[in-house]
Amino acid sequence: MKKSLFVCFILVALLASPLFAQGGGEASSPKIGFMGPMSGDYANYGVLSNNSTMLAVEQFNAKGGFGGKVPVVLVTEDSEGNVEKGLSAIEKLSSVDNIAGLVGPVFTGVSFAVGERVQSEGIVMISPSATHADITSIGDYVFRTVVSDGLQGEVAGNYFYGELGYRNIGVLYAKNDYSQGLYEGMTAAFEAAGGKVTIAESFQVGDKDFKTQLTKIRSEKPEAIYIPNYTAEMAQILEQATQLGMDIPFLSCDGFSNPEIYDLAGDFTDGVIYVGPAKVKESPAYSDFVAQYEAKFDVSPDSFATNAYDGANILLQAMDKVYKETGKFDRSAIRDAVAATKDYAGVSGTINFAENGDLVAYQGLYKVNGTTPEYLGSYTVVDGVLTQVD
Amino acid sequence: MGIAEFFQHLMNGLTLGGIYALIALGYTMVYGILKFINFAHGDILMAGAYIGLFVFDGLRGDAPLGTWTMIAFFLAMLISMGFSAILGMSIERIAYKPLRGATRLAPLLSAIGVSFILSNSAAWAFGTHSRKFNYPFDNTPVHIGDVVITPHQILILSVSLIMMIILKLFIDKTRMGKAMRATSLDQGTAMLMGINVNRVISMTFAIGSALAAVGGILIALDFKVYATMGTMTGLKAFVAAVVGGIGNISGAMFGGILLGLLETFGVAIFGIPTGLKDTIAFGVLILILLIKPEGLFGKVEKEKV
């Protein structure tokens, strides 16, 4: 992992050297930062996303850079996925490197801490992967090119109430951030719409026997049961519900989009309606990106790396626009230009930012017929109203 | 709570308890004879479930539910029992027997080591994902009023009961059983009386492990097969054995059923949050150790059962 860090520094040095040779001509070379875990247990995430940022920078410079003459320099900092390391990294990026914008951080925890810093320093930040609902509420300098966790719960609650017509539902969730977050998000939206969660039972991850919880839920007679969990637990729940002779429809989350559920639960999946990822249209831009990425780095990009590539390009495009208009790289003007991004055709799809800096994204709705999920449509929530987009 | 909900919880609790009881028998037998807790018992259960799964799937092929699947299931269970018995005996030979003269802590630590080796090897060989063990019979629930019972639950309860009775008869009526009781009372004297103590101990491990295999397969039908399946169930069964009075066979059966009912009704009636269900078993363990350390059915007088 250290190796790629070296490669990156060398790249930085190579790109920077012609500028040093100029002996400080017109505008000094603008820098952008990347921050993510580049070493340690989580290095896989950081390295892949740093690769795509490097690729974006290289392609941008190959086209001539800002205004066709000023190349950009990328400075990569290692956070090790750790808040303290992340804070000292942003300190360096901000004061020593004087970056114009940041791609990253990769992790939610680090993003919370670094987000506070960039907000007070006035540096625009675009995270490719921090999914926690509250990340973008840090301030107006914080953006992301990944779907917020909050959206799924919101779409779920509104869809169950509005489209499926349920008024009281039960919930069976696991005691972990993922499951509990979805339960809370869905409940907030569902009850805001006018429905009621009449019973919410929980369990520990790894439990196999859910009959007690299901028996309790059954006696409350909810119209449907929401189970935002992982496949192993959901398979048990569906099977044991049948064993208890329960004839109540089940609703689920993106955890259900993993095909393993059909091996474990078989026919018990019939009729489940779940909120999953929106259908991705395989664009030529995406396959070009993957081909270039693989040719250069010998690995395939993950979805975070794809998001990082779009984030880096949006940042560079915004800087280019500001440079062309003013001849400078003013940080607040760059933020405004990022915020003004409209229908950007990225490799991960069309990108727009909501008022708060969240990616405007969609969730797909699916209904399982036998053991085959059928696509019902894609939805998003605009100002608290469920909107079908596909 | 309505009558129907009460009986539903009762049924759920009894089946859960039946499983605990079946596994607790293995702990209790080994403890009764060796004064040693075989912490690898839960992992032998897991190994038994994997063998059962592979044999059953192999024998069954694509056959639809029917007589053949029942026969295949029965054969798979027998083969798995045999395999687990051999596994249990080998573990005893390799990891416990050499430590018989050592401090009491040594075989216990060795058992924990064996437990990790077994579950990690299974994770390495078979992967960490759960595998489905298909029912060999039609598991459509039977409605009795508002209470629902599955054929699987009936199977668990009856198999546990039959196993316990057979075991009890074996120990009380056969020569081998007599030898086991003698060994349990005093190993040295038993040896002087011409009892092959090594054989008795091997036999104990063989029977305990075969019972674990039966338990593993019965659980697997409901809870799937995976590398760590024996860990939590094993611990709970151990608690059941202690509650009933470790070393006592009827006590293990009773402790298992009691624990299953407590877990179910603790949540349903006493309002313990469902997320804390697992803490009930261990809370009971602490209570029993504080109030009646010999267990509900244990004898106080002698140190050996």
First to last CA, chain A: 41
User: Helix/strand/coil (H, E, C) string of chain A?
Assistant: CHHHHHHHHHHHHHHHHHHHHHCCCCCCCCEEEEEECCCCCCHHHHHHHHHHHHHHHHHHHHCCCECCCECCEEEEEECCCCHHHHHHHHHHHHHCCCCCEEECCCCHHHHHHHHHHHHHHCCEEEECCCCCCCHHHHCCCEEECCCCHHHHHHHHHHHHHHCCCCCEEEEEEECCHHHHHHHHHHHHHHHHHCCEEEEEEEECCCCCCCHHHHHHHHHHCCCEEECCCCHHHHHHHHHHHHHCCCCCCEEECHHHHCCHHHHHHHHHHCCCEEEEECCCCCCHHHHHHHHHHHHHHCCCCCHHHHHHHHHHHHHHHHHHHHHHHHCCCCHHHHHHHHHCCCCEEECCEEECECCCCCECCCEEEEEEECCEEEEEEEEEEECCEEEECC
- Contacting A residues, span 124-153, partner chain B, CB-CB under 8 Å: none
Ranges under pLDDT 70 in chain A: 1-27, 280-282
Q: Is residue A119 part of a domain?
A: yes
Least Cα distance to B221 among A49, A150, A200, A236 occurs for A236
pLDDT at A4: 61
Least Cα distance to B35 among B138, B130, B111 occurs for B111
Residue B275: which of A202, A208, A245 has the nearest Cβ? A202
pLDDT at A281: 64
Q: Stretch B231-253: mean pLDDT, rounded?
A: 89
Spell out the long-range contacts of A325-330 with Cβ–Cβ below 8 A and sequence spacing 24 or more. Answer: A327/A27, A328/A27, A329/A27, A329/A30, A329/A100
Chain B partners of A260 at a C-beta cutoff of 8 Å? 129
Q: With CB atoms and an 8 Å threshold, state whether A175 touches B12.
A: no
pLDDT at B305: 45
* DSSP tag of B276: G
pLDDT (tens digit, 9 = 90+) per residue, B253-298? 899 999 999 988 888 777 777 777 888 888 988 998 898 888 888 7
pLDDT (tens digit, 9 = 90+) per residue, B28-42? 888 888 888 899 999
Q: Which has more confidence, A260 or B233? A: B233
pLDDT (tens digit, 9 = 90+) per residue, B133-146? 989 988 888 888 88
**Does residue A249 share a domain with residue A370?**
yes
Q: With CB atoms and an 8 Å threshold, state whether A202 touches B274.
A: yes
**Does residue A66 share a domain with residue A176?**
no
pLDDT at A23: 37
**Does residue A14 share a domain with residue A124?**
yes
pLDDT at A3: 58
Q: With CB atoms and an 8 Å threshold, state whether B223 touches A175.
A: no
Cis peptide upstream of residue B293 (ω within 30 degrees of 0): no
Instruction: Determine the distance in angstroms separating the CA of A210 from the nearest CA of chain B, rounded to an integer.
Output: 9
Alpha-helix residue ranges (DSSP H) falling in chain B:
3-34, 41-60, 67-91, 105-126, 151-173, 175-185, 187-192, 197-223, 229-244, 249-268, 277-291
Chain A partners of B155 at a C-beta cutoff of 8 Å? none
Cα–Cα distance, B62 to A15 (Å, whole number): 64
Candidates B7, B119, B130: best to mutate against A (most CBs of A within 10 A) is: B130
For residue B131, give the 3-state DSSP assignment.
Answer: strand
pLDDT at B91: 95
Q: Is residue A356 part of a domain?
A: no
First to last CA, chain B: 42
Domain architecture of chain B: domains with CATH: 3-133+143-291 (1.10.3470)
With a pLDDT cut of 70, the percent of chain B lying above it is 97
CB–CB contacts below 8 A, A to B: 74
**Does residue A64 share a domain with residue A182?**
no
**Does residue A27 share a domain with residue A126?**
yes
**Does residue A24 share a domain with residue A100?**
yes
Both tokens assigned to B93: 């030979």
pLDDT (tens digit, 9 = 90+) per residue, A114-161? 999 999 999 999 999 888 888 999 999 999 998 888 888 899 999 999
pLDDT at B301: 47
Q: Is residue A69 part of a domain?
A: yes
Residue B8: which of A202, A213, A215 has the nearest Cβ? A215
Q: How many other CB atoms are there within 10 angstroms of residue B215's CB atom?
A: 33
Candidates B277, B279, B280: best to mutate against A (most CBs of A within 10 A) is: B277
**Does residue A95 share a domain with residue A36?**
yes
Range of the domain at A204: 150-278+361-388
Which residue is listed with tokens 């029912």? B135
Q: Stretch B190-212: mean pLDDT, rounded?
A: 92
pLDDT at B54: 96
pLDDT at A25: 36
Q: Is the pLDDT of residue B197 over 50?
A: yes
User: Could you tell me the CATH number of the domain that includes residue A234?
Assistant: 3.40.50.2300
**Does residue A237 share a domain with residue A368?**
yes
Q: Is the pLDDT of residue B241 over 80?
A: yes
ipTM of the complex model: 0.76
Number of structural domains in chain A: 2
Burial group, residue B141, by CB count within 10 angstroms (0-12, 13-18, 19+) = middle
Cα–Cα distance, A109 to A84 (Å, whole number): 10
Q: With CB atoms and an 8 Å threshold, state whether A243 touches B12.
A: no
pLDDT at A10: 57
**Does residue A168 share a domain with residue A105?**
no
pLDDT at A362: 83
Cβ–Cβ contact B145 with A under 8 A: no
Chain B partners of A216 at a C-beta cutoff of 8 Å? 5, 267-268, 274
pLDDT at B35: 83
pLDDT at A21: 42
Q: Is residue A293 part of a domain?
A: yes
Q: Stretch B1-24: mean pLDDT, rounded?
A: 88
Question: Do the beta carbons of residue A269 and residue A242 sit within 8 Å?
Answer: no
Torsion of CA A236, A241, A247, A248, to 10 degrees: -70
**Does residue A81 share a domain with residue A7?**
yes
**Does residue A288 share a domain with residue A271?**
no
Q: With CB atoms and an 8 Å threshold, state whether B132 touches A266.
A: yes
Q: Is residue A66 part of a domain?
A: yes
Q: With CB atoms and an 8 Å threshold, state whether A243 touches B141.
A: yes
- Contacting B residues, span 2-61, partner chain A, CB-CB under 8 Å: 2, 5, 8-9, 12, 16
Chain A partners of B45 at a C-beta cutoff of 8 Å? none
Cα–Cα distance, B9 to B4 (Å, whole number): 9
**Does residue A286 share a domain with residue A137?**
yes
How crowded is the C-beta side of B122, counted as CA atoms within 13 Å? 26
